[in-house]
């Protein structure tokens, strides 16, 4: 009830608490850096990412090619910019997929309880019983390879997490007085769930969304590394690592830089997620910091 | 506790049935004739016709599932479309590799995580704790296959200390087995170690905040006794759970690492089956991995209930 009353100031306090956390702010910088590279990078880099230049194969980092070139003479920095953009798009779309489906299923399960709850949550348990990469490659084996299917596969992998978290929070708030009051005022189930229950269950969902954005980037890079995600010649960070691995002893930059890009993105989202968790949960204050 | 275990067994059984239905549906959701998919494009018509009858493809789908499940329960997972070998035989051959990688990676992880997590909790404000916390944050964000590639570059190609791929069974000698596993186990173990470190830290912090620790300190006990005998003993329960879950992940085949280091484990078997469209093999591998993952989770829960008699179920 208190949260609802002071809705605005609750999130303002959270932002204030978050800003005080130096590590979380650092994470925000990492994410901003990665997002800006993905958005702006493709427009400022001097080389098209697919341009082949066989006279300049495996050139080490220099002023012409800041991060060197690959086995086709393609500029590594340009490809990292494009790959980062692709990773971010896949990550945002797949997490949106799991957020939309997982949150809806979890809210319905938690709100209605009984057999609906049992049915939905047992299905989620079954999906949860598959390790992430294995579930994703199984889904891709059915749907076929490619970026769209990778988005669906990663989306399905993270759906049960959102369903569980939402269900837990919804069960926590559904019996509270303000929900009963809304019902007494004649609000229907859909209105109660979307206007009263979900907004008050948001905190853990926000944290999980941030963390999942990082893990989705990891999953996408793993799938592309295995050749099941992005198809050549489209640059993707995972694919760059798998192609660069053959030439790595003579051209280590092919193996190092795409990995650093993945690390920065994942680390950034993780730090923000941890910071949000601390800021949203007063019990944890001071524990998650350095 | 018996009631809790019975309930937990029942849900596990339910999940296992769910898993089997999903795995059964892998082949059935693909466009085309399941018998042809199971036998490959080059199979002759009479064999396809026989398999069609065996699978009961003219019968309703739930009867087809019953026939399939009956075969699976009797250990008949079909045979590979590519090699013709029995799927269950291939899976059994791969198990020692996946077990070796999982256990050696967990060994590396615990070797790092227990001391690192304890230090960050006990000496919270020290520089060492800050460094460990930063490293464990980085560790959680590193793709394990990238770490694998870097290790291959440094330890296999530049310094040639370890082989960069392949597996030697333990029967060929411990030294050769360990040398081949060193780099993959380190790649996975360091990252798993980073994850476990964070849990050890929070479990230790929680235990350190309890009243009985204040009492132990007030009694004048040495810090080492307070930390090891009193705190660690109480922090071990949540740690066991996390270690169990991590082991379940490791045993279920670290797909990408097995591919990077060309280890013939279960994860790589599943991956190869996808790329070769070897669906019977894929079904077998996925079923084995998911069921063992579920069973390990069950064991961890039961162990948890056994370790912490305070918990009422």
Mutation for B interface: A118, A119, A131, most B CBs within 10 A: A131
Find the mean pLDDT for residues A195-200: 80
CATH number of the domain within which B248 lies: 1.10.3720.10
The domain boundary, picked from B48, B73, B98, lies at B73
B36 and B113 co-located in one domain: no
Per-residue pLDDT for B215 more than 90?
A: no
Least confident of A66-70, B34-38, B278-282, B292-296: B34-38
Q: Which residue has the higher pLDDT, A45 or B263?
A: B263
- Residue of chain B minimizing CA distance to A24: B137
pLDDT in tens, B84-137: 889 999 999 999 999 999 999 999 999 999 999 999 988 888 899 889 988 998
Helix then strand then coil, in percent of chain A rounded to 5, is: 75, 0, 20
Q: Does A28 touch chain B (CB under 8 A)?
A: no
**B38 assigned to some structural domain:** yes
- Residue of chain B minimizing CA distance to A212: B141
Q: What is the band of A178 on the pLDDT scale with cuts at 50, 70, 90?
A: confident
B44 and B193 co-located in one domain: no
B152 and B99 co-located in one domain: yes
Print the domain residue range for B272.
Answer: 90-307
B117 and B6 co-located in one domain: no
DSSP bridge pairs for A69: A75
The per-residue pLDDT for A172 is 80
**B158 assigned to some structural domain:** yes
- How far apart CA A163 and CA A161 sit, in angstroms, is 5
B285 and B171 co-located in one domain: yes
B108 and B32 co-located in one domain: no
Report CB contact under 8 Å: B149, A262.
Answer: no
Mutation for A interface: B131, B145, B152, B279, most A CBs within 10 A: B145
Per-residue pLDDT for A1 more than 50?
A: no
Handedness of CA A266, A267, A269, A270 (dihedral sign): positive
**B254 assigned to some structural domain:** yes
The per-residue pLDDT for A211 is 92
Report CB contact under 8 Å: B289, A227.
Answer: no
Mutation for A interface: B149, B191, B257, B286, most A CBs within 10 A: B149
CA nearest neighbour of A246 among A52, A58, A51: A58
- How far apart CA B17 and CA B28 sit, in angstroms, is 17
Chain A residues whose CB is inside 8 A of the B202 CB are 287
pLDDT in tens, B223-264: 888 888 888 888 888 888 889 889 988 887 688 999 999 999
The per-residue pLDDT for A283 is 55
B109 and B13 co-located in one domain: no
Helix (H, G, I), strand (E, B) or coil at A51: coil
Q: Does B27 touch chain A (CB under 8 A)?
A: no
Helix (H, G, I), strand (E, B) or coil at A132: helix
Average pLDDT of chain A is 86
The domain boundary, picked from B42, B73, B104, lies at B73
Q: What is the band of A164 on the pLDDT scale with cuts at 50, 70, 90?
A: very high
Three-class SS of chain B: CHHHHHHHHHHHHHHHHHHHHHHHHHHHHCCCCHHHHHHCCCCCHHHHHHHHHHHCCCCCHHHHHHHHHHHHHCCCCCECCCCCCEHHHHHHHHHHHHHHHHHHHHHHHHHHHHHHHHHHHHCCCCHHHHHHHHHHHHHHHCCHHHHHHHHHHHHHHHCCCCCCCCCCCHHHCHHHHHHHHHHHHHHHHHHHHHHHHHHHHHHHHHHHCCHHHHHHHHCCCCHHHHHHHHHHHHHHHHHHHHHHHHHHHHHCCCHHHHHHCCCCCHHHHHHHHHHHCCHHHHHHHHHHHHHHHHHHHHHHHHHHHHHCCCCCC
Q: Which two tokens stand for residue A112?
A: 């209605």
B141 and B234 co-located in one domain: yes
Cis omega (within 30 of 0) for bond into A233: yes
Residue B79 has φ and ψ, to the nearest 5°, of -130, 160
The domain boundary, picked from B13, B41, B73, lies at B73
The per-residue pLDDT for A8 is 62
**B84 assigned to some structural domain:** no
B276 and B207 co-located in one domain: yes
B52 and B121 co-located in one domain: no
Q: How many domains are there within chain B?
A: 2
- How far apart CA B266 and CA B27 sit, in angstroms, is 20
**B23 assigned to some structural domain:** yes
Q: Does B205 touch chain A (CB under 8 A)?
A: yes
B54 and B157 co-located in one domain: no
ipTM of the complex: 0.86
Handedness of CA B198, B201, B204, B209 (dihedral sign): negative
Per-residue pLDDT for B266 more than 70?
A: yes
- Residue of chain B minimizing CA distance to A126: B15
Q: Does B209 touch chain A (CB under 8 A)?
A: no
Q: What is the band of A289 on the pLDDT scale with cuts at 50, 70, 90?
A: very low
pLDDT in tens, A201-252: 788 899 899 999 999 999 999 999 999 988 888 889 999 999 888 888 888 8
pLDDT in tens, A104-134: 999 999 888 889 998 999 999 899 888 888 8
What b/e string do you get for A174-192 counting C-beta neighbours within 10 Å, with b at 16 or more?
beeebbeebeeeeeeeeeb
Q: Write the residue in B143, B202, B256 that is nearest to A262 by C-beta.
A: B143
CA nearest neighbour of B96 among B164, B38, B29, B180: B180
**B82 assigned to some structural domain:** no
B46 and B19 co-located in one domain: yes
Q: Write the residue in A134, A140, A248 that is nearest to B153 by C-beta.
A: A248
**B39 assigned to some structural domain:** yes
**B312 assigned to some structural domain:** no
């Amino acid at each position: 009830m208190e949260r609802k009353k002071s809705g605005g100031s609750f999130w303002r306090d959270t932002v204030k608490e978050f800003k005080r956390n130096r590590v979380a702010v650092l994470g925000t910088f990492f994410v901003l850096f990665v997002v800006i590279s993905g958005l702006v990078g493709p427009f400022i880099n001097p080389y098209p990412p697919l341009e082949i230049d066989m006279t300049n194969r495996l050139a080490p980092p220099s002023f012409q090619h800041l991060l060197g070139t690959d086995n086709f003479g393609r500029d590594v920095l340009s490809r990292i910019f494009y790959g980062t953009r692709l990773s971010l798009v896949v990550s945002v779309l797949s997490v949106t997929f799991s957020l939309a489906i997982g949150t809806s299923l979890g809210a319905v399960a938690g709100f209605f309880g009984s057999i609906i709850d049992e049915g939905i949550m047992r299905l989620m348990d079954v999906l949860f019983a598959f390790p992430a990469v294995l579930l994703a490659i199984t889904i891709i084996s059915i749907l076929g390879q490619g970026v769209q299917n990778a988005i669906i596969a990663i989306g399905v992998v993270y759906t049960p997490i959102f369903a569980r978290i939402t269900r837990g929070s919804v069960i926590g708030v559904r019996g509270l007085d303000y929900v009963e009051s809304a019902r007494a005022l004649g609000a229907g189930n859909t209105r109660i769930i979307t206007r009263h229950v979900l907004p008050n269950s948001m905190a853990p969902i926000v944290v999980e969304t941030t963390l999942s954005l990082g893990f989705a980037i990891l999953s996408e890079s793993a799938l592309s590394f295995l050749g099941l995600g992005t198809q050549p010649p489209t640059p993707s960070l995972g694919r760059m690592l798998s192609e660069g691995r053959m030439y790595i002893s003579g051209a280590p930059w092919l193996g190092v830089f795409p990995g650093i890009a993945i690390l920065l993105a994942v680390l950034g989202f993780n730090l923000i997620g941890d910071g949000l968790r601390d800021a949203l949960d007063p019990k944890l204050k001071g524990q998650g910091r350095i | 506790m018996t009631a809790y275990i019975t309930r937990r067994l029942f849900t596990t059984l339910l999940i296992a049935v769910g898993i089997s239905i999903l795995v059964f549906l892998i082949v059935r959701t693909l466009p085309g004739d399941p018998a042809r998919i199971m036998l490959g494009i080059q199979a002759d018509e009479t064999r396809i016709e026989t398999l069609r009858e065996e699978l009961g493809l003219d019968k309703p789908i739930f009867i087809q599932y019953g026939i399939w499940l009956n075969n699976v329960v009797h250990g008949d997972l079909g045979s590979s479309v590519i090699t013709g070998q029995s799927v269950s035989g291939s899976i059994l051959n791969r198990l020692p590799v996946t077990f070796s990688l999982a256990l050696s990676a967990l060994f590396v992880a615990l070797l790092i995580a227990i001391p690192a997590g304890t230090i960050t909790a006990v000496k919270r404000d020290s520089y060492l704790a800050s460094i460990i916390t930063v490293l464990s944050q980085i560790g959680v964000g590193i793709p394990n296959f990238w770490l694998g590639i870097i290790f291959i570059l440094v330890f296999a190609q530049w310094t040639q200390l370890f082989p960069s791929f392949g597996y030697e069974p333990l029967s060929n000698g411990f030294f050769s087995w360990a040398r081949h596993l060193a780099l993959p186990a380190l790649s996975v173990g360091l990252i798993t170690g980073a994850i476990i470190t964070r849990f050890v830290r929070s479990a230790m912090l929680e235990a350190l905040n309890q009243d009985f620790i204040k009492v132990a300190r007030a009694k004048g006990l040495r810090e080492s006794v307070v930390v090891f005998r009193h705190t660690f003993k109480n922090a071990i329960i949540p740690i066991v759970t996390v270690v169990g879950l991590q082991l379940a992940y490791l045993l279920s085949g670290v797909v990408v690492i097995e591919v990077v280091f060309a280890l013939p484990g279960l994860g790589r078997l599943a991956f190869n089956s996808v790329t070769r469209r070897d669906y019977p093999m894929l079904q077998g591998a996925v079923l084995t991995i998911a069921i063992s993952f579920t069973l390990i989770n069950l064991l961890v829960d039961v162990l948890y209930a056994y370790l912490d008699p305070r918990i009422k179920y």
